[in-house]
Amino acid sequence: MNLMLEHIAIPAADPRALKNWYERTLGARPVWDNGQDPLTCLIELPGGVWLELYAAEAPLPDRGNNRLAGFRHLALRVPSLAAARTELEARGVVFPEPPRPAQGGGQIQFFADLEGNLLHLTERPEDFSLRGN
């Protein structure tokens, strides 16, 4: 079977505001939208991952808790955690805790999007490969 990740869905209290945040903060670009309110859209992050944003029916309690069952965060690999952090802080991102070691090597640093969904930067050693580890 040939599988490839196409998109990750994020139900949002305000999909338009969240879309704008991802475009402004992470450099996402629009792929498609339904042209109406509430907005449903696809945006592409640098690196090619698509996010589908659409209206949520209700908020998820404790969405910032990384230990709950289900999908908990979006990891974004960067060549330099320090450089990415500096750039994101200039765009208004707040990092609530310092970087910490990443499972398998390197380091990570968590932050949240406009609605509190967890993301983290991941810096890996140059020779790191998930294949065979």
pLDDT in tens, 36-77: 999 999 999 999 999 999 999 988 778 888 888 878 899 999
What's the predicted TM-score (pTM) here? 0.90
Gyration radius (Cα) of the chain, Å: 15
- What CATH number corresponds to the domain at position 89? 3.10.180.10
What is the distance between the alpha carbons of residues 87 and 64, in angstroms, rounded to a whole number?
23
Residues 53 and 66 grouped into a single domain = no
Give the pLDDT score at 30: 98
User: Which domain does 67 fall in, by range?
Assistant: 60-133
Q: Say yes or no: 20 and 7 in one domain.
A: yes
Residue 132 reports pLDDT greater than 80: no
Neighbours of 107 (CB within 10 A): 17
Beta bridge partners of 119: 74, 111
- Is 89 a residue whose pLDDT tops 80? yes
